[in-house]
Amino acid sequence: MNYVLKAGKEETGKGYYVVPSDLEEAELFYQPINSKENIKWTGIEVPAKAESK
């Protein structure tokens, strides 16, 4: 679901992203709509993909 988070409100939950299969660590950059603020998360560890049965 894509939606705009209202100013001053926090949300928790899972995020889903398409990443290369060999990616082990990443940085996530976020810029809210209508804002010059930039947010950066670093050192995000990408879990290994579970094997399909």
Q: Give pTM, 2 decimals.
A: 0.45
Whole-number pLDDT of residue 2:
60
Domain ranges across the chain: 21-48
Whole-number pLDDT of residue 3:
64
Whole-number pLDDT of residue 11:
74
If phi > 0 it is left, if psi is from -120 to 50 it is alpha, else beta; for residue 38 that is beta
Low-confidence ranges of the chain (pLDDT < 50): 1
What would the two tokens of residue 34 be? 């209508």
Whole-number pLDDT of residue 49:
67
- Give the C-alpha separation, 28 to 39, whole Å: 8
